[in-house]
Amino acid sequence: MTGSAHLRELGEFLKHRRGELTPAQVGLPERAHTQRRVQGLRREEVAELAAISTDYYVRIEQGRLAPSPPVLDSLARELRLDGDQRTYAEGLVAQAARAGHRKTPRRSARPKAHPHLTRLLAQLTGTPAIVFGPRLDILAWNPLVAELLCDFAAVPEPERNYVRMVFTDPVSFFSVAAPV
């Protein structure tokens, strides 16, 4: 059985268990005007009780992601797992880890600035400009920014993150003195 097969089995187990519980059993109010399409708890309700996002819970239940130990503890508590059920769930996560399945998704490759943006930056000679990635990685800059803020070419690429630079060395990053 591969790691993802163990995670799929865990997901099926959690789905079955949430189907056995009613909202009243876990302290959720019954909504008389709402007709339930699923027997037992909804995914959203389990996620809310476990204090995780619905998307995270859905990925666990679909066998795409292994829960972290604190999340598994929270799910076991909220789904009212007994000792044997909890041991079974923890065993599936451990087997998935031994089979080489990563607990968290890998971070995608570092994005690159589009060549059109790089050419545009070179043409902006009178305005400082920076191109940021989705996580505020500094992808490209023009010479004015290098003079104003920092020579980003001298900073190793993995460390070229705006937030990281502001908090790790704010004095040199913001060398412009504030008026007194």
CA distance 136 to 112: 12
Nearest to 130, CA basis, from 169, 164, 160, 168? 160
Q: What is the pLDDT of residue 55?
A: 93
Q: How many CB atoms lie within 10 A of CB 115?
A: 9
CB atoms < 10 A from the CB of 15, how many?
16
CA distances from 111 to 40, 90, 162, 165 (A): 43, 36, 14, 18
- Distance CA(6)–CA(63), nearest Å, equals 8
CB 11 within 8 A of CB 96: no
- Supply the pLDDT for residue 177: 45
Residues of the chain with pLDDT under 50: 103, 176-178, 180
The whole-number pLDDT of residue 180 equals 47
Residue 64: how many other CB atoms lie within 10 Å:
14
For 130-169, the pLDDT digits (tens) are: 999 988 999 999 999 888 888 888 888 888 888 888 888 7
Check residue 178 and give its pLDDT. 47
Q: What pLDDT sits at residue 108? A: 62
